[in-house]
Amino acid sequence: MILNAIEMGEGRPAVLLHGLFGQARNFGFVQRRLVGPERRLIALDLRNHGASPHAPGMHYRDLAADVIETLGAMGALPAALIGHSMGGKVAMAAALTAPDAVTRLMVADIAPVASASRFTAIIAAMQQIPLTPDLTRAEADHALAEAEHDPAVRAFLLQNLRFGAGPAWRVGLAELADGLPDILDWPEFAATYDGPTLFLAGDRSDYIKPEHRPIIRALFPRVRMASLRNAGHWLHADNPEGFIAVADAFLTPQP
């Protein structure tokens, strides 16, 4: 599957992969700051997100294949991959299944393990919002309030809803609901990725736990692990300057 891409700059490709319910444009500020005279920044909408096609299947091998196929069609291989949350799992899967296509790997606040589910009720609430032309953002926000108490998270979810005469979800809600078990899971890989790897956790997040470190090291032998201050799970939004500084240093070739 060829994915929608937002591209800036020329040079060595570096690719940004968003998390569940995200989209390429969420990385706009980060992308503009990381692009340089010798760096080509590409943000992708994963399948069933943003402006990419909707299709069944959310297994990480399939999502990784979409990324590699798209970058190949763009002449952007090999590339450095930076993935957040679900996008981090996609980046890991791409590195493990196509290591020659990945020059460097940065994983933001996710581990190669199964994740706890909190999205079933959220997706159901999103599906139940009546998509009428007179629907307001306040009404949609109220409809999600029982399933998601955090107003900031509801605002993030509602970025995916197009209001007006023809209201519609940009995300493939039916496909995400069917694929949620695969999104939350992590498949077994009989491989390792030996390229430079960085796992960056938010210091206020518990997505990467101490017991995950041996699993990470087994799959990614050249891994470094770091923590970003003043950041939770959405670390590139909580501390964008810190995230950009870490990513810029990781992407800069060492003498």
Query: Tokens 């800069």, residue?
Result: 252
Mean pLDDT across 207-215: 96
Question: CATH class for domain 5-115+186-251?
Answer: alpha beta
User: What DSSP element (H or E) covers 17?
Assistant: strand 12-17
Domain boundaries, the chain: 5-115+186-251, 120-179
* β 39-44/12-17 pair status: parallel
Partner residues linked to 184 by β-bridges: none
Nearest to 166 by CA among 197, 129, 135: 135
Partner residues linked to 43 by β-bridges: 6, 16
Q: Model-level pTM?
A: 0.95
- Cα–Cα distance measured from residue 170 to residue 158, given in angstroms and rounded to the nearest whole number: 10
User: What DSSP element (H or E) covers 108?
Assistant: strand 102-108
DSSP letter assigned to residue 145:
T
Output the pLDDT for position 162. 94
Residue ranges of E strands in the chain:
5-8, 12-17, 39-44, 79-84, 102-108, 161-162, 168-169, 197-202, 223-228
pLDDT for 1-35, tens place per residue?
999 999 999 999 999 999 999 999 999 999 999 99
Mean pLDDT across 112-126: 90
pLDDT for 49-59, tens place per residue?
999 999 999 99
Classify burial at 70, counting beta carbons within 10 Å of its beta carbon; exposed 0-12, middle 13-18, buried 19 or more: buried
Percentage of the chain beyond pLDDT 70 is: 99
Percentage of the chain beyond pLDDT 90 is: 94
**What's the mean per-residue pLDDT of the chain?**
95
pLDDT tier at 115, thresholds 50, 70, 90: confident
Rg (CA), the chain: 18
Contacts of 21 (CB under 8 A, 6+ apart): 49, 156, 157, 160, 171
Output the pLDDT for position 255. 58
Cβ–Cβ < 8 Å for 205, 235: yes
Per-residue pLDDT for 117 more than 80? no
- Cα–Cα distance measured from residue 246 to residue 75, given in angstroms and rounded to the nearest whole number: 26
Q: What are phi and psi for residue 201, nearest 5 degrees?
A: -105, 150
